[in-house]
Amino acid sequence: MSLRSPLAVVLGRGAAGEGVGHWWAQRVSALCLVPLTLWFLVALMRLPLTDYAAVSIWIASGWNPLWLALLLLSLVWHSRAGVQVVIEDYVHAPAAKLVALLANSGAHLLLLAAGLYALLQLLLRNSS
Amino acid sequence: MRERPLSPHLSVYRFQYTMALSILHRISGVWMSIGLVALVYWLASAAAGESEYGLASARLGSWWCRVLLLSWLAAWCYHFANGLRHLAWDAGFGLERLQARRSARIVVVVAALGLLLAAYLLFCPRAGGA
């Protein structure tokens, strides 16, 4: 006999009260990060990193800002999901867990906003 | 409230190297999450202008920042290789014990090669910059 209500079974929600969305988000962002991180690291290797003009032009040229935005988005998404699972596994006190989870989401949101804002500034300055 | 049974009790299992690889996946992931700050700092400094970027790239190029960058690159090499292993498992492949142990050894070799390549790129004089 199952203790789960028929509705819970249909919705596919586990003990956490949510479905498999978190699991999928982690896998999908992982798949996105396979080509994106490879592309970014190869690009960094080829760039003269101390040359400001070269770097700022590269960031804003062609499809690069799009790939960089997607890289930031997938990195933050994947990183937040990963740290969240670690917190849920190792922080047991309910209050501390809530605070840690909120801090995790807040820090990642802040990083994403700052990264995208910087990208936008570079794009507007170098695309004219 | 009554004490509920907890799991997993990791300490009751005999240690196997695949366990070390498993926890290393989490450690490398959390470590790279901290590295996100460096990535955003680099982007923000480029957005702030030439003098700020010069300062940031001098900082990121300092020897102790190169050590940090090396640790993040090494973490990426490991997490990337082991992540592909996890994705294969999620798709239902390579779950047999022998297969999992063989793929573990491959991951270690790939990560070690990546670490050497990253160390060469970061610390050989021709690499230039951070």
Contact A52 B33 (CB under 8 A): no
Bond prior to B8 in cis (omega within 30° of 0): yes
Q: How far apart are CA B70 and CA B58, in angstroms?
A: 16
- Residue A11 domain flag: no
Say which CATH number the domain at A92 has: 1.20.1300.10
Q: Is the pLDDT of residue B92 over 80?
A: yes
Return the number of CB contacts < 8 Å for A and B.
Answer: 79
Which amino acid, B130?
A: A
The reply to whether B94 touches chain A by the CB within 8 Å rule is: no
Q: Is the pLDDT of residue A29 over 60?
A: yes
Residue spans of the domains in chain B: they are: 62-127
- Residue A2 domain flag: no
- Residue A98 domain flag: yes
- Residue A100 domain flag: yes
Residue B129, pLDDT score? 46
Q: Which domain holds residue A100?
A: 25-126
Q: Are A71 and A34 in contact (CB under 8 A)?
A: no
Q: What is the pLDDT of residues B7-64, one digit of tens each?
A: 667 777 788 888 899 999 999 999 999 999 999 999 999 999 999 999 999 999 999 9
Residue B128, pLDDT score? 47
Q: What is the pLDDT of residues A63-96, one digit of tens each?
A: 999 999 999 999 999 999 999 999 999 998 999 9
Q: Which of residues 23-82 of B touch A (CB under 8 A)?
A: 26, 29-30, 32-33, 36-37, 39-40, 43-44, 46-47, 50, 53-54, 57, 61, 73, 76, 80
Residue B2, pLDDT score? 75
**CA-wise closest residue to B29 among A19, A89, A12, A127:** A89
Q: Is this complex scored with an ipTM above 0.85? A: yes
**CA-wise closest residue to B25 among A85, A118, A14:** A85
Nearest CA in chain B to A36: B80
Contact A34 B54 (CB under 8 A): no
- Residue A121 domain flag: yes
Q: How far apart are CA B103 and CA A79, in angstroms?
A: 24
Task: Specify the pTM.
Answer: 0.87
Contact B57 A50 (CB under 8 A): yes
